[in-house]
Chains A and B, each alone.
Chain A
């Protein structure tokens, strides 16, 4: 059992001029834990996620990651090469739109292999073997390894994006609405797959979504955001079953019960 949080976020803030992205967000993420972030559109969820993943530079605060080599380090003040190295080894980022996270002009195998080649894999047979293995794990027919993602369905593209991200065995995955834009049966399969992978690989994850069903299934902890601030945080079931804040109550009661 580790006694250092994998990710420790301290007072993250980001403004866009006079407009507020997010203010003073702090939390700890422990190894193997999944953190859900919910909130309405424009509440600062994606800003927060991009600040944590190094895509945006926050105005204030620290993002402390427990690196393999040197222990806890602030990734905001880390040098760009170091941050990029993290981005292709220990971190993964799953975009809402698979098109943003995939190279559409490159075959499925090439997409999965890119991260391997970026960290120095130089044996074609090995790369292809790993790519085949990962396509199987995300339930894509390995016979389609040489097809371009543009010929795949939306659900397959999203699964391919997940395979491409997990192939280097990251410890922390950032997901920005991974099920957005997919129909419900495909969503269910994807969630099932994600849950299996998270459990099998002992991944930690930060999932941004506006879909409460996704966090109910995947997340251990939950943060509710409104207007750039965290208004409620706690264990997922606790927050969803006994919402305290007015906005959370509104959010929970807005879900249609079938």
Chain B
């Protein structure tokens, strides 16, 4: 049921128009951070205000929405955003990746390969990959404009000199179409290879920071690395305890107070679909 007091998908049409214009610019310049007039949303900053505004701007009444939080469809953030759009837009929702046309995500890319016609919306806390290396925004903008990206490798250099390998495990910086260095939001670096050559449209929204950026379909995205320390996507070296999958990103779950733990797929839809097909892991009941 749509609550009639609200415009479709909560935001007013002029705001959606402003966001769509910013999104078009972002798609035209892949990886470039476009400023936009972020609105106050009925949720705290850090809960996905950027992602929600982007989703609201791209949703149509015929869309099927899926919302995931760290891969899961049933956590607080995912449930509340899903019900927000059910109430304000009245769109159909699903947990099945294949059936969704718009997927809002926090910190994961679904395991099932995305297809043409789908839109993946990321919630981004800090859009500026250079932020912790160079705190001045005026300076980082200049560095992006002039492709002055030596500093990004200094961070990776420091990782190797301190840990012996590139220890950055999430929000791993990427270079888009050999031009802009981009923060892919805090997805695990396991997901980085899925960013490039993706058939779906990927949109990134940072509400507090008032920035949007985007990857159009089939964009070249390269994870930064050194020749002698190449990029390696990593995951826990276990099969899923519930569905036995060996190719999915895993969460470690502590199950008791004597050191017992299990590894399960972070993508709940993927895990459930596999279990429905009869796959079983060692911890499955």
Contact = CB atoms under 8 A, between A and B. Distances in A.
Interface string A98-133: 000001001101100111011100111101100000
A113 B157 contact: yes
Contact of B157 (A84, A88, A119, A127): A127
A124 B146 contact: no
Interface in B253-272: none
Contacts of A114: 150-151, 154
A145 interface: yes
A88 B154 contact: no
A146 interface: yes
Contact of A124 (B149, B151, B160, B162): B160
A114 B123 CA distance: 31
A81 interface: yes
B226 interface: yes
Q: How large is the interface on B (under 10, 10 to 19, 20 to 34, 35 or more residues)?
A: 10 to 19
Given A110-B154, A124-B228, A118 B161 contact: no
Interface string B143-158: 0001111110110011
Contacts of B227: 122-124
Nearest to B224: A122
Interface in A81-101: 81, 84, 88
Given A122-B227, A124-B226, A107 B150 contact: no
B153 to A, nearest CB: 4
Given A114-B154, A117-B154, A123-B228, A128 B148 contact: no
A136 interface: no
A145 B147 CA distance: 28
Nearest to A146: B161
Contacts of A115: 150
B150 A118 contact: yes
A124 B150 contact: no
Given A114-B154, A117-B154, A107 B161 contact: yes
Nearest to B229: A124
A24 interface: no
A80 interface: yes
Contacts of B150: 88, 114-115, 117-119
Contacts of A146: 161-162
Given A80-B146, A81-B146, A84-B146, A122 B161 contact: no
Contact of A110 (B158, B226, B228): B158
Contacts of B146: 80-81, 84
A125 B160 CA distance: 10
A205 B154 CA distance: 28
Given A84-B148, A122-B227, A107 B153 contact: no
A127 B228 CA distance: 11
B148 A110 contact: no
Contacts of A123: 226-228
A110 B156 CA distance: 10
B154 A125 contact: no
Contacts of A119: 150
A232 to B, nearest CB: 39
A118 B158 CA distance: 15
Given A80-B146, A110-B161, A125 B153 contact: no
A107 to B, nearest CB: 6
B180 to A, nearest CB: 15
Contacts of A88: 150
Interface string A126-159: 0110000000000000000110000000000000
Interface of A: 80-81, 84, 88, 103, 106-107, 109-110, 113-115, 117-119, 122-125, 127-128, 145-146
15 contacts: A80-B146, A103-B154, A109-B157, A113-B154, A117-B153, A117-B154, A117-B157, A118-B148, A118-B150, A122-B226, A122-B227, A123-B227, A124-B160, A125-B228, A128-B161
Interface of B: 146-151, 153-154, 157-158, 160-162, 225-229
Given A107-B161, A118-B151, A123-B227, 17 more contacts: A81-B147, A84-B148, A88-B150, A103-B154, A107-B158, A109-B161, A110-B158, A114-B151, A118-B150, A123-B226, A124-B227, A124-B228, A124-B229, A125-B228, A128-B161, A146-B161, A146-B162
